[in-house]
Amino acid sequence: MIIDDLKKAIDESDIYLARAVILRQINSDKDREHFWMLESVAYAEPLLADKGIALFKEDDGDTELIIDKLAWTVDYWQLLRVRFNRNFSREKFEFIVEMMRYFREQGIPEFQVAEQKSNSTSPTQTREKNTSNSQQQDSSKHQHSKSNTQDYFIGSASGAAILGTAAKLLGYSVVGGVVVGAIIGAGVVYLKNRETF
């Protein structure tokens, strides 16, 4: 199952989106029967390479990959995922997958296949489910939009305060510092949201 966002990322040569899709799949594949992230990597890597873009970075060696499986914990897996987000290396990716397989074999609850829901639903149940999903999506969009607006406001205000103060201390125009700071703060929030969406 190749996600449309991944196809879009490849078409647009957007390595950040491609990596974000795979990062998102790592988390969602924990309780899926199939690790779709493996297919996504196999699909994306050669297509990106044809465009001169490397899916994986060179490993920075900042994280010890613990070989002793008895020492593996869910907390360590989560730490490794965070480090993988910063250094998208093949070594970290393959290690994360190996840990997920091991946790599934060991019966760790977060890594067990979720039960499949029955496909037999009545038309009434389907309508109720669709109405509920639509309401949840509307609520989620509103909350996401509200969160983004708050993030941009905080980023702009923080940037304005910092550069406004710096401009005053350095003897430059306070107004110019505030405006530039607000723009930089909003830009930082935009880039943060783009990478993590």
The mean-pLDDT minimum among 54-58, 110-114, 178-182 falls in 178-182
Instruction: Give the residue with greater pLDDT, 129 vs 5.
Output: 5
Q: Is 114 in a helix, a strand, or coil?
A: coil
Tell me the pLDDT band of 183, cut-offs 50, 70 and 90: confident
Q: CB within 8 A of 29, min separation 6: which ones?
A: 35, 36, 37, 100
Cα distance from N-terminal residue to C-terminal residue, the chain: 21
Tell me the pLDDT band of 180, cut-offs 50, 70 and 90: low
pLDDT, residue 154, reads 65
Largest Cα–Cα separation, the chain: 72
pLDDT tens digits for 122-171? Answer: 444 444 555 555 555 554 444 444 445 666 556 566 555 565 555 566 66
Q: Is 56 in a helix, a strand, or coil?
A: coil
The mean-pLDDT minimum among 4-8, 30-34, 50-54, 189-193 falls in 189-193
pLDDT, residue 104, reads 96
pLDDT, residue 124, reads 42
